[in-house]
Amino acid sequence: MKKSGILYNTIQEYSWGSITELSEFLGRPSHIPKPMAELWMGAHPKAPSNVIVNGQSVSLLDIIEENPAEILGSAVANQFNNTLPFLFKVLAADQPLSIQAHPTIDQARVGYLRENNADIPISSPTRNYKDENHKPEIICALSTFWALNGFRPIPEIIEILSTIKSPLLSVFSQSLINEPNSQGLKIFLEKIFHMDSENRIEMVKEILNYAQFNINHDPLYEWLIKFDKLYPGDVGILSALLLNMVCLEPGDAMCLQPGQLHAYLHGFGIELMANSDNVIRGGLTSKHIDIDELLTILNFDETPVNIINPESISDTERIYETSAKEFQLSVINIIQEKPYLSHISRNVEIIICTSGFADLTDLSDNSILQLSKGDSVVIPASLNQYKIEGTATLFKSSIPLIS
């Protein structure tokens, strides 16, 4: 495959998804309202995109396996064992996702081997480690996007816990007050997660009673009540007290590192991540929860909120800088007078149009692909250079060039 190809992508219908956002974005109104959560673009074995090649619909996974250097570029093929190292998504969250974290690559390898040796099937709902990879992520907001991400400063956590009139919470938080550091936070969480059900129910009730009287004073109390309506009695509602509450506006992005406790709460955005399924959950979900494993992989250090704004590298392209080796996200804004011209040194790219109309021209033969809102395209490394003209906003996923 030496030409660009329009992608035909799978939509994941998770319960937390939006009934309207993705269908409206793609221009495909559904006659049967159902929550659509994620549009997957890439070569993930669970749901690879398809491309039309010689009149036939072919999996991008199969195309890469057949010609990895041609599609990925030789350097990427060598570095990532002939596989596409990222998964590109459009995400529509109408309800909160689970409280979760992802392992480091070393933790993933150990956990994957351990669960293999225990004969836990890859498809088992109780399996934590589906592969040997880590899962750094970046989320870029297309609408106002709410999330929890990383632990608040410990003095701030102590102040919040002390403010809430809950006798049980006061007892459990004493260990953090006595040891106001990451180790004290770990001990506090171990006690909270392992408390008996009677105390857990009573403590959650006390916290919610306080939240009801203070719902107009701070968004976190509103989220506490929302969490409990969805997952009654779940101690995971405490995450709103412990984690940074983040509100991204359109164009803002944030990165999620290994061991960073987080949850997406509500919004519509572009997500780019390493190609992994390793998720360790701690609450607010009907899926498998493994508290002991979560406590093993968590980073308990305070995590400042770092909103990433894109940096211009040309008149039309801006890059969201991260430390990830598996992916790079950029946004392309074009108008009629200012087309986008691709780099000559490049590797495989996937581009999605989020607004407007554009023509993508292969400069080797002047063939054109027309793109509009919701359309995505894969551009193989073997295509030397291309141009995008029109009036549109597009997001591009690629892999950082190896220097």
Question: Are β-strands 38-42 and 86-93 bridged in parallel, bridged antiparallel, or unpaired?
Answer: antiparallel
- Tokens 């072919």 belong to residue: 58
Q: What is the DSSP string of 340-372?
A: EE--SS---EEEEEEEEEEEEEETTTTEEEEEE
CA distances for 349 relative to 163, 318, 395, angstroms: 50, 15, 10
Cβ proximity of 340 and 316 under 8 Å: yes
127 belongs to the catalytic site: no
- Render the burial of 200-229: b for 16+ CB within 10 Å, e for the rest: beebbebbbebbeeeeeeeebbebbebbbe
Exactly one of 127, 281, 318, 346 is catalytic; name it.
281
Burial of 265 (0-12, 13-18, 19+ CB in 10 A): buried
Nearest to 214 by CA among 225, 201, 228: 225
- Tokens 């632990």 belong to residue: 151
3-state secondary structure of 210: helix
φ, ψ of residue 230 to 5 degrees: the values are: -80, -40
CA distances for 313 relative to 288, 319, 334, 343, 386, angstroms: 43, 7, 14, 11, 17
CA distances for 273 relative to 23, 52, 144, 325, angstroms: 23, 25, 20, 10
* Calpha distance 384→343 (Å, rounded): 9
3-state secondary structure of 184: helix
Residues with a known catalytic role: 281
